[in-house]
Amino acid sequence: METATSSGIGNAIDRVEGRLKVTGMAKYASEFFVENLAYAQAINSTVAKGKIVSIDTSEAEKQKGVILVLTHLNAEKLKAYDEERPVLSVSSIQPVLQSPEIHYYGEYVGLVVADTFEQAQYAARLVKIEYEKDAPTINFEEARGEAYKPNEQSDHLRGDIDAGMAEAEVKLEATYNTPIEHQHPMELHAIIATWDNGKVKAYASQQMIDNAAITIAETFQIPKRDVRVIAPYVGGGFGSKLHAKQHVILAVMAAKMTGRPVQLTVTRQQMFTNTNLRQHNEQKISIGATRDGKLTALAHDTLSHTSTYEEYQEPCGSVSKMLYNVPNNRVTHRLIPMNIQTPFAMRAPGEATGSFALESAMDELAWKLKMDPIAFRILNDTQTDLSNDKAFSSRLLKECLRIGADKFGWNQRKMTPGTNRQGNWLIGYGVSAASRAAPYQKTSSKVLLELKNKTLYATVQMDATDIGTGSYTIIAQTASEYLGIPVERITVEIGDSLFPVTPGSGGSWGAASYANGARMACLNAIDGLKRKLNSHDKAGSIEALMIDNQVTRYEAEGTAEPSEAFKKHSVYSFGANFSEVWVDKDTGMYRIKRMVNVGACGKILNPKTAFGQIIGGLTMGAGMVIAEQSRVEPNYGNFITRSFADYHVPVNLDMANIEVVFLPEEDKIANEMGVKGIGELGITSVAASITNAIFNATGKRMRDLPVTPEKLLTAAVEEIS
């Protein structure tokens, strides 16, 4: 390895693309200049279930500037689903406008294309549609009897849960509810699509470039090589842009049919109906332990919903399978088909919601045992993932809890709820353990070395995306580290399907995958150049080698992928959350005063961007408790939360004084660079730490999110048995 520079990995440098963003120079999907551009506005259904019986487009077609009114009557024929309710994946086809059937309120039923955005929007309102309505399934409680088991992998069983519960001397059975939530990135979902002689070019706000190209190609039944997807900057995703949704297909179809490039933006209101969501999860926990605190059994049963036309299951029980040393374990998932759009992955799918249930239950059981909740967790720690009998590649959960307790001042916590007071405020401390899989996927990259005036510059290319996480910066830092030149001399080009393939951004695999891919390309460039020049100089810089041999240009590719050791271990990031909450005893209003987050996340590539990721996760976790919920109108099936006026998210005044601590860790089993994911660890179990603090302040258990003042005021104080 070449000598590291001060801007290499591990340094808290500013984002390399930061200036472009704050000056408005970074181009997002809808901002590219394309000649002869037309604009599209999608039309939404106004019933949740039924069938279109007539469409009158005549008035819309008469309007100035209108080029095309697209409905199921004149749409291109696309590839259809080959089963009734296929499992939704990041590369699933997305047939749209293929039939008169309506599956959910807001489903796309038409599209108007015009010379200007205003013309398209106006004409879209003039399309008259009549429906034959059917009674929709939108009531979770009434539809319980329709629940089904998605697949064999939905359930996990080890030991004998009944025997384990019988052995337990202290038991808890409780139900926890998390509501429907929506991802709301700042950048709306958008695309500019062109269709030229069967070749598609799409500037699209997508987290996964290669998968988007697959979806487009397979939906239209064209070769993938004829699809180019470009997304150099993505203004947030949180899972909502993992796969190409129906608006992408609509825009490509419109471009093909009109012969013009078409821009389509999903409005903020349509973000509630035409992108995915985190579904309502009802989670029942049964947990038992011996009197001295050793867990004997843990059952985690989740009931949730999917759409009537696609299937998605959020793995809420994933944490309960592996976090603690419990010999008897059952995890189940059941789904109810409902007339709501398909749910899909939202930041830490499974962990964010499942950890709320698990870590609340652990706190409740510790209270019943009269044990300190940190001591209870440490007592039941394990270095083996009992769900698959694999050793963890590294696991510093106990260290996270202990160090966090010291940083937070846990020894000042009063065991008895309601006894720490300041005026009208009741003060509580809460803790939760966190875990999140740290996947690492095959990633390819190209590096181009250029010597200009005896100075070495490098360009790194891959189809990775930066969704606000800092991908540009950590890729540049990795190249800086291995090539031995400053970040200022490195150009990172990402977000184009013409570049080498990566897994894209999602699942907390981005940093590890991108960095290791860039590393391999750099090492291959160095080794290849030395072989070409027959150089055996181990110590000299690559820059000097090129100068001495008058080589002005050299390029190489590299691919990194999981090792055999990785496959034989369970690879996770771990953490601990601590929250101090103040509750007004008369009004139920509460404030999150302090938060401490401790993480063991492998080697930290850039402490500044990593800190930002944890802050974002903590904020979303707090949002789960404070306010976030999407509510369905019980008669018609539309969302009555349709804007930020009624879908509330945390703002600066809602957030606490936050301290983030990264433990020194370099997990070489996880990957050669020892890097793990943190993007989703930051949200995991945050909600539980806050509600556990609320209990410590008030003696009231909050098992249904969000926690409103009304819920706090009407809840009963729980007595220890």
Active site residues: 680
Closest CA to 682 of 577, 591, 593: 577
Sequence-ordered alpha helix ranges (H) in 370-470: 373-379, 397-408
User: Residue 327 burial (CB < 10 Å; 0-12/13-18/19+)?
Assistant: middle
Question: In angstroms, rounded to a whole number, what is the distance separating the alpha carbons of residues 494 and 219?
Answer: 25
Question: What does the DSSP 8-state code read for residue 639?
Answer: B
Please give the C-alpha separations between residue 251 and each of 84, 93, 114, 535, in angstroms, as whole numbers: 25, 15, 12, 53
Closest CA to 286 of 274, 296, 276: 296
Question: What does the DSSP 8-state code read for residue 448?
Answer: E
**Whose structure tokens read 């359930």?**
155
Farthest CA pair distance, the chain:
81
Question: In angstroms, rounded to a whole number, what is the distance separating the alpha carbons of residues 464 and 513?
Answer: 9
* C-alpha 544: how far from chain center: 43
Closest CA to 305 of 273, 278, 332: 278
For residue 580, which amino acid is it? E
Per-residue buried b or exposed e for 72-84, using 16+ beta carbons within 10 Å of the residue's own CB: beebbebeeeeee
Q: Please spell the DSSP secondary structure of 681-708, one letter per residue.
A: TTTTTHHHHHHHHHHHHHS----BSS--
- The residues pairing with 456 across neighbouring beta strands, listed in sequence order, are 451
Confirm if 167 and 288 have CB atoms less than 8 A apart: yes
Confirm if 709 and 588 have CB atoms less than 8 A apart: yes
Contact partners, residue 538, CB within 8 Å, separation at least 6: none
For residue 347, which amino acid is it? R
Please give the C-alpha separations between residue 159 and each of 324, 329, 501, in angstroms, as whole numbers: 14, 6, 42
User: Residue 54 burial (CB < 10 Å; 0-12/13-18/19+)?
Assistant: exposed
For residue 632, which amino acid is it? V
Sequence-ordered alpha helix ranges (H) in 348-469: 351-369, 373-379, 397-408
Which two tokens mark 323?
Answer: 């976090």
Please give the C-alpha separations between residue 432 and each of 13, 235, 347, 361, 694, in angstroms, as whole numbers: 31, 30, 18, 10, 13
Question: In angstroms, rounded to a whole number, what is the distance separating the alpha carbons of residues 632 and 180?
Answer: 9
